[in-house]
Amino acid sequence: MNNAIVLAFSGGLDTSFCVPWLRERGYEVHTVFADTGGVDADERAAIEARAHELGVSSHVTIDGGPAIWNGFVKPFVWSGIGYQDQYPLLVSDRYLIVAACIDRAAQLGARAIAHGCTGMGNDQVRFDLTIKALSDLAIVAPIREIQKEHAQTRAWEQAYLEERGFAVRAKQKQYTINENLLGVTMSGAEIDRWEAPGNEARGWCAPRAQWPSQPMRVALRFADGEAVALDGEVLPGHRLLARLNRLFAAYGVGRGLYTGDTTIGLKGRIVFEAPGLAALLVAHRALEEAVLTKAQNRFKPLAAKQWVELVYEGFFHDPLKADIEAFLAHSQRCVNGEVVLETQGGSVQAVAVRSPHVLNAKGATYAQSADWGVAEAEGFIRLYGMSSTLWAEVNRG
């Protein structure tokens, strides 16, 4: 089966284009859709139907929910920060998609993997480096190939498909949309032109006019830093996140417009929606900051920033990432308890924290009462500020 190739397939414009392009070059195309929980049953069926309509030799759907929770969500929540303090790494399902494609290639005896990444974006780095880290399979990137001859690739892809009788969804013509358990990202059209996103640039999050009138409260229980229960119901992580997505999307939580530095050096601009992750991050941070020491809370973001940058830039399998995850996991051993979240729309706050590990002093409450005397306080201030005070005394004009 030297002509067999496995294509990571989403049913969007780019991966739809890849199927006939590869077939016309003699490949036997086998598609894999890694379902990480971002689509419903109807959409999964539509993706499979699309693959067969395009003429694939086989199509499989992989349940990627548990893998994305254990492989990404847990350490990401432990890290507690987004890329450049904004973007919640919604593209991280790419690494798990590659792993599923490699497994499928082994089943088929295929020696190549294809993807629909462009030569302009970050995903090509994530796909290629992961394939290289996990296998010796050949990489075929049809979009990069056509970019050698065509500047306006999306328009050319649309025409290519339509000439062969394959319709293109209207929304796919306007935006590049990525959707998975983690959230939704949208780029293209007015977003790429640095203009205000249009009304159609919206995924899960309800607009302001549709938010419920009553506030919502939910309780999240954590064990070793991992969310394990929602309102008292124990749930597998990926199902818990899916439920949070539904609950908080109705209140417009987790929507943002991100502009930042891409891996390849360009400025990137996307609309993103991640209601469940936004809720998880707020709850986890409230609990963590109450149970970790001052030194832990100060140091951990330094390591977390490095972890986030590695994941964003394609180094998901670099040993440093695993090293940092070992530290992050160890820091979570006392992050146990329950956090109550509240939203009135647009944002979410942690309004209550309950844990046996909260670092409360038995005889003191900040700004209220203390079990030390005034002389002790004055002595602490004198010694603590000695260096700064001496500088002022020595250099006072």
CATH of residue 308:
3.90.1260.10
Would 198 be classed as within a structural domain? no
Would 193 be classed as within a structural domain? no
pLDDT at 29 over 70: yes
Amino acid at 154: R
Would 227 be classed as within a structural domain? yes
Q: Which residues lie closer than 8 Å to 129 by C-beta, 6 or more apart? A: 314, 315, 316, 317
Mark whether 249 and 373 lie in a shared domain.
no
Parent domain of 369: 363-397
Mark whether 340 and 373 lie in a shared domain.
no
Would 111 be classed as within a structural domain? yes
Write the pLDDT tens digit of every residue in 57-97.
999 999 999 999 999 999 999 999 999 999 999 989 999 99
Write the pLDDT tens digit of every residue in 316-346.
999 999 999 999 999 999 999 999 999 999 9
Mark whether 169 and 212 lie in a shared domain.
no
pLDDT at 205 over 80: yes
In the block, tokens 């739809």 appear at: 16
Mark whether 48 and 104 lie in a shared domain.
yes
Would 375 be classed as within a structural domain? yes
State the pLDDT at residue 361: 80
Would 186 be classed as within a structural domain? no
What is the tally of structural domains in the chain? 3
Residue 362, CB half-sphere, CA atoms under 13 Å: how many? 0
Q: Is residue 361 helix, strand or coil? A: coil
State the pLDDT at residue 194: 92
Mark whether 103 and 217 lie in a shared domain.
no
Would 86 be classed as within a structural domain? yes
Q: Is residue 10 helix, strand or coil? A: coil
CATH assignment at residue 153: 3.40.50.620
Average per-residue pLDDT for the chain: 93
Residue 24: beta bridge partners?
Answer: none
CB atoms within 10 A of CB 321: 17
Mark whether 104 and 142 lie in a shared domain.
yes
Mark whether 337 and 372 lie in a shared domain.
no
Write the pLDDT tens digit of every residue in 1-22.
579 999 999 998 999 999 999 9
Mark whether 217 and 93 lie in a shared domain.
no
**Dihedral over alpha carbons 93, 96, 97, 102 (to 10 degrees):** 160
pTM of the model: 0.90
Domain boundary (130, 157, 175) is at 175
State the pLDDT at residue 172: 57
Of the candidates 126, 249, 269, the residue with the CA atom closest to the CA atom of residue 182: 249
Percent of the chain past pLDDT 70, that is, above it, reads 98
The span from the CA of 188 to the CA of 203, in Å, is 14
pLDDT at 372 over 80: yes
Mark whether 132 and 246 lie in a shared domain.
no
- Which H or E run contains 13? helix 13-23
Query: At 164, is the pLDDT very low, low, confident or very high (cuts 50, 70, 90)?
Result: very high
Mark whether 287 and 375 lie in a shared domain.
no
pLDDT at 265 over 60: yes
Furthest C-alpha separation in the chain? 85
Write the pLDDT tens digit of every residue in 101-155.
999 999 999 999 999 998 888 899 999 999 999 999 999 999 999 999 888 888 8
Mark whether 12 and 120 lie in a shared domain.
yes
State the pLDDT at residue 173: 63
Mark whether 59 and 149 lie in a shared domain.
yes
State the pLDDT at residue 37: 73
Q: Yes or no: say if 268 and 86 are a contact pair by the CB < 8 Å rule.
A: no
Whole-Å CA distances, 51 to 10, 12, 15, 57, 209? 9, 10, 9, 9, 38
Task: State the average pLDDT over residues 282-292.
Answer: 97
Would 201 be classed as within a structural domain? no
Tell me the helices (H) and strands (E) count for the chain, helix number first. Answer: 16, 14
Of 63-67, 301-305, 367-371, which gets the smallest average pLDDT?
367-371
